[in-house]
Amino acid sequence: MTYQELYHGLCTRLHRAGIENETLEARELLCKAARLSREQFFRDRMGEAPAAAGEAVEELLQRRLSGEPLAYLTGEWEFYGLTLRVSPSVLIPRIDTEVLADLAITEGRKLPKPARILDLCTGSGCIGLSVTAHVPGSEGILCDLSPDALAVAEENVRRCGLEDRVRCIRADARQRPPEELGQFDLLTCNPPYIPAGDIAGLDLTVRGFEPHMALDGGADGLDFYREITAQWKNVLKPGGLLFYEVGIGQAEDVGAILAENGFSVHTCRDTQDIARVVWGRKLQD
Enumerate binding residues for ligand GLN (CB under 6 A). 91, 94, 190-194, 206, 215
Closer CB to ligand GLN, 7 or 225, in the complex:
225
Q: How far is CA 178 from CA 44, 182, 183, in A?
A: 53, 8, 11
Nearest to 121 by CA among 89, 73, 77: 89
Under 8 Å between Cβ of 235 and 187? yes
Question: In 3-state terms, what secondary structure has residue 122?
Answer: coil
Q: How far is the CB of 226 from ligand GLN (least distance, A)?
A: 15
Q: How far is the CB of 97 from ligand GLN (least distance, A)?
A: 8
Closer CB to ligand GLN, 73 or 215, in the complex:
215
Q: How far is the CB of 245 from ligand GLN (least distance, A)?
A: 6
Closer CB to ligand GLN, 127 or 157, in the complex:
127
Q: How far is the CB of 122 from ligand GLN (least distance, A)?
A: 12
CA atoms lying within 13 Å on the CB side of residue 154: 10
Is 112 among the annotated ligand-binding positions?
no
Closer CB to ligand GLN, 41 or 209, in the complex:
209
* DSSP labels, 57-98: HHHHHHHHHTT--HHHHHTEEEETTEEEE--TTSPPPPGGGH
Between CA 275 and CA 131 the distance in angstroms is: 20
Q: How far is the CB of 30 from ligand GLN (least distance, A)?
A: 27
Between CA 114 and CA 272 the distance in angstroms is: 34
Q: How far is the CB of 190 from ligand GLN (least distance, A)?
A: 5
Neighbours of 127 (CB within 10 A): 29
Is 3 among the annotated ligand-binding positions?
no
Closer CB to ligand GLN, 272 or 284, in the complex:
272
Closer CB to ligand GLN, 10 or 194, in the complex:
194
Supply φ then ψ for residue 201, to 5 degrees.
-95, 0
Q: How far is the CB of 225 from ligand GLN (least distance, A)?
A: 11
Between CA 155 and CA 148 the distance in angstroms is: 11
Is 191 among the annotated ligand-binding positions?
yes
Between CA 279 and CA 7 the distance in angstroms is: 44
Closer CB to ligand GLN, 65 or 206, in the complex:
206
Is 114 among the annotated ligand-binding positions?
no
Under 8 Å between Cβ of 131 and 188? yes
- The CB-nearest residue to ligand GLN is 193
Is 50 among the annotated ligand-binding positions?
no
User: Residues within the annotated binding site?
Assistant: 144, 190-193
Binding residues for S-adenosyl-L-methionine: 144, 190
